[in-house]
Amino acid sequence: MSSNSKNITQTLMVETPAIPGKLGKVATAIGLAGGDIGEVATVQFGPTWTMRNITVHCIDEEQFEQVLASIEALQSEGIKLHGISDQVLRAHEGGKIHMQRRVDIRSLSDLRQVYTPGVANVCQVIQEDPEKARIYTSIGNTVAIVTDGTAILGLGDIGPVAGMPVMEGKSVLFNQLVGISGVPILLDTKDPEEIIRTVKNIAPTFGGILLEDIGSPHCFEIEERLKEELSIPVMHDDQHGTAVVTLAATITASKSVNMDLKSAKVGQIGLGAAGLAIAKMLMAYGVEQVYGVDKSQEAKERLTSIGGHSLDSIEELMETCDIIIATTGVPGLIRKEWVRSGQVILALSNPKPEIEPEVALEAGAAFAADGRSVNNILGFPGIFRGALNAQAKDITHKMLVAAAEAIAATTKNGNLVPHPLDPNVHEAVTKAVEEVATQLNNNIR
């Protein structure tokens, strides 16, 4: 979960002497300045030096300048900063997706089959039985990725066009991980009624609708109405995708300390779109006591309306609960002195958590983690793949819980969640969701 509107990622070209420990000095300098190192790639070896590209993530420009100054201060060590490039911007040039054909038209015979006159026969088949569109068109394998641009990452309301890189990223992941065609849909309106009406009007084109980066509280009404009024799967990823992966992480964390999650007292700090969905997901999994706190009275009322317990302060929640989940986007919100011995603390805001894991552990927590690995990528591709495979009419909490359990089951010992690009994870999620969806379909019939 992102929390800062000025996060920057830059790639530094750094030369270090071919002496053990010099790269470590660079890493230490970056870390002490507050930077977070991503990829380190060797560019060139010289006779006495090594050139590397080091990707650095910083929360703002000031912190990035501190990183640069820290590296430049190492010149006496023979370490040189040769250049800065924005690797992220380069990766997005020209966009990340395009529509591609699945068949070739190389002759008049091909043309007659694929277009005219042969296509008319297919149109008539679908007219007689609309369900056959899933067989003879791309509809059954296509998901709309819909945004109004009001809650893009941690950047806030930056508009739908500025959110397009995120929608393209979702599309790439859909295609690469589970073979779904994801189509970005940018809506130039914030009016819930207009959004609902527009999505309903374009829905016949798609096998499912993924709502993305739509702000709270209007995201709740939009999703609820579309789920009621459409007969295809609809899911708001910021709510349920986040909740699925968080539940998986909570299952893993509680098991690692031999804590019974279902009978534990679980506290949710922050009851926005993600926080409320996490609370719902915990209850759907079977957690008996879910507590929450938020500065918004309306948010607390939403929690109590679904069976949760609202508390007045974070300190009270910390005193009450065994497991703490925080999704506020406020760094350092949880004080060290509030941590109780034996607690599980998942402070999931990125890049700076509500409490640093090492601080929570020093204070006595049995398990602590931040949100760097808790990524929606682990959930949404397999959830939609499973739903489409089963021809599900909607996405239920039983399907989402099955997805979370599949993610937890594929997590290796010592990890909080699996690697997001592990194909085995997405296969497991797909299978779990498809099985539950098929069972629900059979029960309806």
Question: Does some domain include residue 424?
Answer: yes
Where b means 16+ CB within 10 Å and e means fewer, 290-320 reads: bbbbbeeeebbebbeeeebbbbeebeebbeb
Q: Are residues 350 and 244 in the same domain?
A: yes
Among residues 190, 211, 232, the one where a domain terminates is 232
Residue 83's Cβ-count burial label (10 Å; 0-12, 13-18, 19+) is exposed
Residue 97 lies in a domain: no
* Last residue in a domain, options 72, 92, 112: 92
Residues 340 and 390 in one domain: yes
Q: What is the phi/psi pair of residue 100, to 5°? A: -130, 145
| 396 and 293 housed in the same domain | yes
Residue 176 placed within a domain: yes
Pair 341, 434 in one domain: yes
In a domain, 428, yes or no: yes
441 and 317 within one domain: yes
Q: Catalytic residue at 170?
A: yes
200 with 272, same domain: the answer is no
The CATH number of whichever domain residue 224 belongs to comes to: 3.40.50.10380
Range of the domain at 115: 103-137
d(Cα 147, Cα 190) in Å, to the nearest integer? 10
On whether residue 269 sits in a domain, the answer given is yes
Count of domains forming the chain: 4
Which value, to the nearest 10 degrees, does the dihedral of the CA atoms of residues 201, 206, 210, 213 take? -50
> Which is the catalytic residue, given 170, 227, 280, 300?
170
Q: Looking at 6, 115, 262, 412, which residue is catalytic?
A: 115
Residues 252 and 353 in one domain: yes
User: Is residue 444, in this structure, part of any structural domain at all?
Assistant: yes
Same domain, 291 and 416: yes
- Tell me, yes or no, whether 355 and 443 share the same domain: yes
Residues 255 and 271 in one domain: yes
Residues 197 and 52 in one domain: no
Look at residue 98 and tell me if it is in a domain: no
How does pLDDT run along the chain (445 residues), one tens digit per residue? 444 446 788 999 999 999 999 999 999 999 999 999 998 999 888 888 999 999 999 998 899 999 999 999 999 999 999 988 776 777 787 889 898 899 999 999 999 999 989 999 999 999 999 999 999 999 999 999 999 999 998 788 999 999 999 999 999 999 999 999 999 999 999 999 999 999 999 999 999 999 999 998 899 999 999 999 999 999 999 999 999 999 999 999 999 999 999 999 999 999 998 999 999 999 999 999 999 999 999 999 999 999 999 999 999 999 999 999 999 989 999 999 999 999 999 999 877 899 999 999 999 999 999 988 888 999 999 999 999 999 999 999 999 999 999 999 999 998 999 999 999 999 999 999 999 999 988 776 5
Q: 330 and 272 in contact (C-beta within 8 Å)? A: no
* Domain final position from 197, 216, 232: 232
**Domain CATH code at residue 78:** 3.30.70.260
291 is catalytic: no
Within this chain, do residues 411 and 376 fall inside the same structural domain, yes or no? yes
In the numeric block, the tokens 């957690």 are attached to 287
CATH number reported for the structural domain that contains residue 400 in this entry: 3.40.50.720
Q: Is residue 26 part of a domain?
A: yes
Are 391 and 256 contacting, i.e. CB atoms less than 8 angstroms apart? Answer: no
